[in-house]
């Protein structure tokens, strides 16, 4: 599938038309997909929305439980959620500057003064006087956002907040995919361990038969030694499989926030990858991938911040006002006869700051250019990931079918070799080769089944979610309810 070059030109043009009223709204262009000859009807053509609970397609209650536990208990995800709250608070703080600032005050003071040099008949010099001062005031200040500098700062903060929300969605998607991947790997390890255990039992039985026949003089010492060596290798393989299972169990427990005691056990069998990939997948990939949307929000934030830097070159207009009462008696503070007030306005125009303001403009423009380049690179990477994932799906299915057939034939060949060896028609080396071939074929078939599940997970992540028509888009993933 070839990505048309005009797509990236239209993306650039759309990003140059950012709005600065609220959070900058960057409208992503529709994606002009070209039909891929290699995919035929499986190319991007339809509008099948992605799913918020895509893992349910695997029909594994255990996997559903694990993912929901991870979404609640994972500490990295909690940190991402805290960053969303941090960005939300920053956006609220940035928007507060649009409103007048109002403060109330109550003050009291008592002073002692000395009067010197004023002749007062009968008075003893110096003269000491005491005075009280009480005030009740309300002070207001407001910077009139005539040029939109404060609104642009608010827009930038809102874009960063929206980006943090999308980052949280991406973290949830990644965590769910990681949990599923570990669960499938653990289930594969459990199946490989079971296969190794069955192999040890089979080789042990075979070695016992050969040992008895050797004692009767029917079999040669070579057959016995080869059988004992084969059994020892199978026992070593079983121990290695158990180590792999325990390591994966610990990793899975750490991801879901459980104590890592390696007590988890995988499923006895791997699930199927689910329904085939629909003929029509979302053509608006850029609107669904959390990382792409996050990169777009970064461009919007940088664009608004560049506007802030430019408008800092313009004059700032401020109004201040104060009103209240002033008296030397506390009881008079609520008496209107003692009221005082003041009002003032001012314009402040930067004249010379050593080039700092213009340097800030150049810096903001460079950050915007950097974020735009990063966005285009992220979009291109997203297309590439989907392309590879779409091609990996059918190939993984072919590998599963082929290796399952190979395992079936190798197992049948092993049984035939065992019968022929028992009847003295073949030597033990031929039997040994057939046993090892059957073990390897069955092991490879199990690995291929897990690889097919990983291929489906790669496609899910590349699309920003699943492709269940019951869901709208990846934002539903944020709304998945989880409980302890």
pLDDT given for residue 43 in this prediction:
32
Q: In the chain, count of helices (H) and strands (E)?
A: 9, 4
Evaluated on CA atoms 152, 158, 159, 160, the torsion sign reads: positive
Dist CA 58 CA 270 (whole Å): 10
Render pLDDT for 94-132 as a digit per residue (tens, 0 to 9): 888 888 888 988 898 988 887 766 666 665 566 777 888
pLDDT given for residue 437 in this prediction:
94
Dist CA 350 CA 316 (whole Å): 9
Phi, psi of 139 (to 5 degrees): -115, 135
Dist CA 156 CA 69 (whole Å): 34
pLDDT given for residue 250 in this prediction:
95
- Three-state secondary structure call for residue 472: coil
pLDDT given for residue 118 in this prediction:
62
* The two structure tokens encoding residue 232: 């020892």
Residue 301 CA to chain centroid, in angstroms?
A: 19
Question: What ranges do the domains of the chain cover?
Answer: 6-97+148-313+367-478, 99-114+128-144+315-348
SS in 3 state form for 287-323? HCCHHHHHHHHHHHHHHHHHHHHHHCCCCEEEEEEEE
Q: Which residues of the chain have pLDDT under 50?
A: 1-21, 26-51, 469-484
Beta-ladder partners of 128 = 114
Dist CA 282 CA 49 (whole Å): 6
Dist CA 44 CA 47 (whole Å): 9
Q: At what angle do helices 149-215 and 61-73 cross, to 10 degrees?
A: 130
Do 332 and 191 contact (CB within 8 A), yes or no? no
Class of domain 6-97+148-313+367-478: mainly alpha
pLDDT given for residue 428 in this prediction:
87
Evaluated on CA atoms 63, 65, 69, 72, the torsion sign reads: positive
- The domain made up of 99-114+128-144+315-348 is a member of CATH 2.20.200.10: yes
User: Which residues, in sequence order, are CB contacts of 16 under 8 Å at separation 6+?
Assistant: none
CA angle 407, 274, 177 (to 5 degrees): 100
Q: Sheet holding 316-327: strands in order across?
A: 101-115, 127-144, 316-327, 339-348
Dist CA 117 CA 31 (whole Å): 91
Render pLDDT for 472-483 as a digit per residue (tens, 0 to 9): 444 444 444 444
């Amino acid at each position: 599938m070839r990505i048309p070059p005009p797509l990236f030109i239209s993306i650039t043009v759309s990003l140059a038309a950012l709005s600065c009223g609220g959070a900058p709204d960057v409208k992503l262009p529709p994606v002009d997909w070209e039909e891929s000859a290699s995919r035929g009807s499986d190319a991007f053509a339809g509008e099948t929305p992605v799913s918020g609970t895509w893992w349910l397609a695997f029909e594994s209650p255990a996997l559903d439980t694990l993912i929901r536990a991870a979404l609640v208990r994972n500490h990295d995800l909690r940190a991402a959620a805290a960053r969303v709250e941090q960005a939300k608070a920053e956006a609220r703080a940035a928007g507060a500057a649009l409103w007048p600032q109002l403060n109330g005050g109550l003050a009291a003071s008592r002073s002692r003064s000395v009067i010197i040099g004023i002749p007062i008949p009968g008075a003893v010099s110096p003269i000491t006087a005491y005075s009280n001062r009480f005030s009740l005031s309300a002070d207001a200040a407001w910077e009139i956002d005539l040029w939109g500098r404060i609104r642009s700062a608010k827009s930038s903060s809102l874009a960063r907040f929206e980006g943090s929300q999308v980052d949280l969605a991406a973290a949830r998607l990644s965590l769910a995919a990681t949990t599923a991947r570990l669960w499938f790997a653990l289930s594969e390890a459990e199946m490989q361990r079971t296969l190794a255990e069955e192999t040890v039992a089979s080789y042990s039985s075979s070695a016992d038969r050969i040992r008895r026949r050797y004692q009767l003089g029917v079999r040669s010492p070579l057959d016995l030694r080869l059988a004992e060596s084969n059994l020892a290798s199978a026992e070593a393989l079983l121990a290695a499989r158990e180590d792999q299972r325990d390591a994966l169990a610990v990793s899975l427990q750490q991801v879901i926030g459980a104590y890592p005691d390696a007590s988890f056990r995988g499923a006895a069998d791997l699930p199927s990858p689910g329904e085939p990939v629909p003929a029509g997948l979302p053509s608006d990939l850029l609107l669904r991938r959390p990382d792409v949307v996050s990169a777009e929000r970064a461009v919007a934030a940088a664009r608004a911040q560049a506007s802030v830097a430019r408008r800092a070159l313009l004059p700032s207009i401020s109004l201040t006002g104060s009103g209240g009462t002033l008296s030397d008696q506390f009881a008079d503070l609520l008496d209107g006869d003692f009221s005082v007030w003041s009002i003032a306005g001012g314009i402040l125009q930067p004249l010379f700051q050593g080039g700092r303001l213009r340097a800030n403009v150049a810096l903001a423009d460079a950050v915007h250019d950097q974020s735009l380049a990063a966005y285009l690179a992220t979009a291109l990477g997203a297309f590439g990931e989907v392309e590879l994932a779409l091609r990996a799906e059918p190939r993984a299915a072919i590998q599963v079918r082929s290796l399952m057939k190979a395992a079936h034939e190798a197992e049948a060949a092993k049984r035939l070799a065992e019968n022929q060896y028992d009847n003295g028609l073949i030597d033990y080396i031929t039997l040994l080769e057939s046993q090892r071939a059957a073990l390897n074929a069955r092991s490879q078939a199990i690995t291929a089944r897990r690889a097919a599940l990983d291929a489906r997970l790669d496609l899910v992540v590349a699309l920003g979610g699943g492709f269940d028509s019951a869901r709208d888009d990846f934002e539903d993933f944020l709304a998945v309810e989880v409980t302890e």
